[in-house]
């Protein structure tokens, strides 16, 4: 059953359209990638799904309900988690306070979830009382993932997890995301331009160009490096 | 010896005045990015509401002060909904012509100044039309303490205690409570806070109510010491702005430090050369401070801290 469904979604900043009639669906339990170069509208796509930007046309259905005009905080409470590009941790709150910000969303987050999250990212437990702004890029990415996870989301939106992070940590984060998908059953929709991350993480992938979905790539094609490199070529 | 006591009392008096005048303005500016030029008139609302509920309704002074604070907080919510966030005009707009009429004034410094300056004019004239050029005052409680050839109003010493309690209270609210943490997250990154389920509109409304309530409390506390005129807010506005600007980005620490520094300077000059030169020294000190510390005292502290961290 599809958890998220976008039907002809068009979104714009001021009058400039960024998304043009995007159709996309994500099934429960899947990890779906959206690949594309800089500026094709990947971030805008996730912001529109999160409700930070209202579509001018089209509908967004989540868990069977029409959420097209629901606000971001309503969607968060309905179970959509968001990990923004560049992490956007709260720099002057401590690591622990950042995570607690995520916990406020839903009442059903419990202590065992914390243990599980610290299991993936033990460094966050060690640095609990440090200001988040003092963490490295990779650690901030882990913190942003943890902050989204404590609300126990059903759908996690992840914006360019590899951006500005050391290659060694990128591989670890991809593995963590797959483990999270498997252990917690969290459905993941991520956007990315790093070929390695897409191939490693995604079950299925959409290709995006100039605000439109131009192709859908199944597992077989994902294995073919040359075929998907084409979508990211300059 | 006697002169030393004079100086100490003078300092406490200046400190209390600066901190109480600035607290509400600092919170609204620091968290919402709104410069409230009607701040003095929010103090007016608190002072009038306190005085009228004491003289007309016969409430005891402490209860009247509570009424003054709450009335101003409620008034702040109305202003926030109608003017600052524009939620009410936009609600009407959506139902009549199907679009918003106004954009919220959050983080629009110049625009918020113009809007609140207009509000301030309306409020001063409104008070004059409704209540006339002055209203009866309540007397200053507690009498005087005498030492040597001098005497000093006990109430003003009480006010300095209140100002310190207020700083502690505000610090507690913003660092230890659920609301405080959410409010700080909202200032640091509004979009992410919303994506984490924070209803940021409610946070802004609560913040404006708290800031307005503090302005109302200031009006309530000073009501027994002032003559009740529609322009009484003016005398607070200058000190409030100077304190906020000199204090810098950190609301509580900044207000406390600038209250301390500016209060000390004002006290010394008032003691030596009289009230007039005390005020001039305060403004001169603010100008010098801004020349050398353009981000205020706490901005300077932050710069030093981050430099030290980079050096490590």
For chain B, the residue count is: 312
CA distance A73 to chain B (A): 4
Tokens of B115: 């809007």
CB contact at 8 A, B173 and B254 = no
Cα–Cα dist A212/A45, whole Å: 10
Count of beta carbons in the 10 Å neighbourhood of residue B16: 25
In tens, the pLDDT along B272-287 reads 888 888 888 888 888 8
Q: Interior CA angle at A200 toward A199 and A204, to 5°? A: 55
Average pLDDT in chain A = 85
Q: Which of residues 82-111 of A touch B (CB under 8 A)?
A: 82, 84, 88, 90-93, 97, 100-102, 104-106
In chain B, what percentage of residues exceed pLDDT 90? Answer: 23
Instruction: Please judge whether A52 and B200 are an interchain contact, meaning their C-beta atoms are less than 8 angstroms apart.
Output: no
Q: How confident is the model at residue A107 (pLDDT cuts 50, 70, 90)?
A: low
CB contact at 8 A, B145 and B152 = yes
Q: How confident is the model at residue B63 (pLDDT cuts 50, 70, 90)?
A: very high
pLDDT at B188: 81
**B251 and chain A in contact, CB less than 8 A:** no
CA distances from B247 to B12, B40, B261, B304 (A): 18, 19, 10, 15
Domain membership of residue B45 (yes or no) is yes
In tens, the pLDDT along B70-109 reads 999 999 999 999 988 878 888 888 888 877 788 888 878 8
Q: How far is CA A198 from the centre of its chain?
A: 13
Average pLDDT in chain B = 85
- Among B180, B188, B197, B251, pick the best mutation site for testing chain A contact (most A Cβ within 10 A): B197
Instruction: Please judge whether B195 and A82 are an interchain contact, meaning their C-beta atoms are less than 8 angstroms apart.
Output: yes
Q: How confident is the model at residue B1 (pLDDT cuts 50, 70, 90)?
A: very low
Range B32-61 average pLDDT: 91
Q: Strands A187-192, A204-209: parallel, antiparallel or unpaired by DSSP?
A: unpaired
Structural fold of domain A2-232: Rossmann fold (3.40.50)
Q: Which helix (H) or strand (E) holds B63?
A: helix B61-79
Instruction: Please judge whether A104 and B196 are an interchain contact, meaning their C-beta atoms are less than 8 angstroms apart.
Output: yes
Cα–Cα dist B225/B220, whole Å: 10
Cα–Cα dist A116/A150, whole Å: 10
Q: How confident is the model at residue B117 (pLDDT cuts 50, 70, 90)?
A: very high
Domain boundaries, chain A: 2-232
CA distance A77 to chain B (A): 6
Which residues from chain B sit within 8 angstroms of residue A88, using beta carbons?
Answer: 189, 191-192
Domain membership of residue B273 (yes or no) is no
What domain count does chain B have? 1
Most confident range (mean pLDDT) of A16-25, B289-298, B299-308 is: A16-25
In tens, the pLDDT along A191-201 reads 988 888 888 88
Domain membership of residue B251 (yes or no) is no
- Among B196, B200, B306, pick the best mutation site for testing chain A contact (most A Cβ within 10 A): B196
pLDDT at B47 over 80: yes
- Helices B2-32 and B39-55: crossing angle, nearest 10°? 110
Nearest to A97 among B181, B198, B200 (CB): B181
In tens, the pLDDT along A37-71 reads 888 888 899 999 998 888 888 899 998 889 888 88
Fill in the DSSP letter of residue B83.
I
Closest to B202 in 3D by CA, of B188, B182, B216: B182
Instruction: Please list the alpha-helical segments (H only) found in B177-274.
Output: 178-188, 190-195, 200-222, 234-247, 251-273
pLDDT at A31: 92
CB contact at 8 A, A160 and A144 = no
pLDDT at B2: 54
pLDDT at B288: 87
Nearest to B184 among A71, A92, A105 (CB): A92
pLDDT at A160 over 70: yes
Which residues from chain B sit within 8 angstroms of residue A101, using beta carbons?
Answer: 181-182, 185, 193, 196, 198
Tokens of B170: 């505000």
**B199 and chain A in contact, CB less than 8 A:** yes
Domain membership of residue B276 (yes or no) is no
Instruction: Please judge whether B188 and A92 are an interchain contact, meaning their C-beta atoms are less than 8 angstroms apart.
Output: yes
Q: How confident is the model at residue B312 (pLDDT cuts 50, 70, 90)?
A: very low
Which residues from chain B sit within 8 angstroms of residue A152, using beta carbons?
Answer: none
Nearest CA in chain A to B185: A90
CB contact at 8 A, A53 and B194 = no
- Backbone torsion region of residue A121, taken as left when φ is above 0, otherwise alpha when ψ lies between -120 and 50, otherwise beta: beta
Tokens of B90: 């936009």
CA distance B180 to chain A (A): 11
CB contact at 8 A, B65 and B146 = no
Q: Which of residues 24-53 of A touch B (CB under 8 A)?
A: 50-52
Domain membership of residue B310 (yes or no) is no
Residue B71: partners with Cβ closer than 8 Å, 6 or more residues away: B45, B46, B49, B216
- Tell me the sheet residues that pair with A27: A2
pLDDT at A110: 66
Q: B222 is in which domain, residue-wise?
A: 2-228
pLDDT at A105: 67
CB contact at 8 A, A200 and A219 = no
Q: How confident is the model at residue B217 (pLDDT cuts 50, 70, 90)?
A: very high
CA distance A134 to chain B (A): 9
| Interface predicted TM-score (ipTM) of this complex, two decimals | 0.79
Q: Which helix (H) or strand (E) holds B153?
A: strand B150-153
Q: What is the DSSP string of chain A?
A: -EEEEEEEEEEEETTEEEEEEEEEEEETT-EEEEE--TTSSHHHHHHHHHTSS--SEEEEEETTEE-TT--HHHHHHTTEEEE-TT----TTSBHHHHHHHHHTT-TT--HHHHHHHHHH-HHHHHTTTSBGGGS-HHHHHHHHHHHHHTT--SEEEEE-TTTTS-HHHHHHHHHHHHHHHHHH--EEEEEE--HHHHHHH-SEEEEEETTEEEEEE-HHHHH-HHHHHHHH--
pLDDT at B40 over 70: yes
In tens, the pLDDT along B244-261 reads 888 877 777 888 888 888
- Tell me the sheet residues that pair with A206: A34, A216
In tens, the pLDDT along B129-178 reads 998 888 888 877 777 777 776 777 888 888 888 888 988 998 888 888 88
Cα–Cα dist A82/A67, whole Å: 16
Fill in the DSSP letter of residue B295.
T
Instruction: Please judge whether A73 and B181 are an interchain contact, meaning their C-beta atoms are less than 8 angstroms apart.
Output: no
Instruction: Please judge whether B197 and A52 are an interchain contact, meaning their C-beta atoms are less than 8 angstroms apart.
Output: no
pLDDT at B308 over 70: no
pLDDT at B215: 94
Cα–Cα dist A11/A53, whole Å: 7
Nearest to A73 among B184, B188, B198 (CB): B198
């Amino acid at each position: 059953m599809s958890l998220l469904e976008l039907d002809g979604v068009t979104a714009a900043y001021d009058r400039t359209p960024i998304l043009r009639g995007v159709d996309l669906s994500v099934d429960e339990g899947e990890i779906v990638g959206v690949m594309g170069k800089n500026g094709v509208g990947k971030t805008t796509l996730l912001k529109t799904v999160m409700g930070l930007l209202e579509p001018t046309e089209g509908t967004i259905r989540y868990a069977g309900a029409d959420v097209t005009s629901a606000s971001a905080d309503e969607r968060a409470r309905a179970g959509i988690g968001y990990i923004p590009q560049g992490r956007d941790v709260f720099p002057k709150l401590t690591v622990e306070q950042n995570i607690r910000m995520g916990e406020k969303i839903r009442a059903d987050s419990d202590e065992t979830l914390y243990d599980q999250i610290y299991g993936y990212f033990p460094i966050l437990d060690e640095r609990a009382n440090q200001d988040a702004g003092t963490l490295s890029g990779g650690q901030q990415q882990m913190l942003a993932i943890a902050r989204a996870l404590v609300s126990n989301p059903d759908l996690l939106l992840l914006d360019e997890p590899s951006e500005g992070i050391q290659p060694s940590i990128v591989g670890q984060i991809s593995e963590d995301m797959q483990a999270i998908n498997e252990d917690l059953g969290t459905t993941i929709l991520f956007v990315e331009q790093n070929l390695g991350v897409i191939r490693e993480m995604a079950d299925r992938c959409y290709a995006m160009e100039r605000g439109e979905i131009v192709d859908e790539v199944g597992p077989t094609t994902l294995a073919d490096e040359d075929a998907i490199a084409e979508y990211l070529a300059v | 010896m006697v002169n030393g006591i004079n100086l100490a009392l003078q300092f406490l008096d200046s400190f209390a005045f600066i901190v109480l005048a600035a607290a509400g303005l600092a919170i609204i500016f620091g968290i919402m990015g709104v410069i409230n030029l009607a701040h003095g008139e929010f103090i007016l609302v608190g002072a009038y509401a306190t005085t009228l509920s004491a003289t007309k309704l016969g409430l005891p002074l402490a209860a009247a002060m509570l009424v003054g604070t709450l009335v101003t907080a409620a008034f702040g919510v109305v202003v926030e909904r109608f003017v600052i966030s524009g939620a009410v005009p936009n609600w009407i707009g959506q139902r009549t012509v199907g679009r918003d009429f106004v954009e919220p004034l959050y983080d629009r410094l110049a625009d918020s100044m113009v809007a609140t300056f207009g509000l301030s004019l309306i409020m001063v004239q409104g008070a004059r039309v409704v209540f006339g050029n002055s209203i009866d005052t309540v007397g200053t409680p507690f009498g005087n303490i005498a030492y040597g050839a001098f005497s000093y109003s006990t109430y003003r010493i009480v006010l300095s205690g209140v100002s310190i309690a207020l700083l502690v209270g505000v610090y507690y609210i913003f660092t230890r409570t659920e609301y405080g943490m959410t409010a700080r997250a909202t200032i640091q990154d509004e979009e992410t806070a919303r994506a984490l389920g924070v209803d940021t509109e409610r946070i802004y409304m609560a913040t404006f109510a708290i800031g307005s309530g503090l302005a109302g409390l200031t009006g309530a506390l000073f009501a027994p010491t002032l003559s009740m005129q529609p322009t009484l807010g003016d005398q607070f506005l200058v000190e409030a702005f100077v304190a906020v600007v000199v204090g810098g980005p950190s609301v509580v620490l900044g207000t406390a430090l600038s209250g301390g520094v500016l209060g000390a300077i004002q006290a010394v000059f008032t003691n030596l050369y009289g009230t007039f030169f005390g005020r001039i020294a305060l403004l001169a000190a603010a100008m010098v401070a801004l020349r050398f510390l353009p981000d205020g005292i706490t901005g300077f502290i932050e710069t030093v801290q981050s430099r030290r961290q980079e050096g490590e």
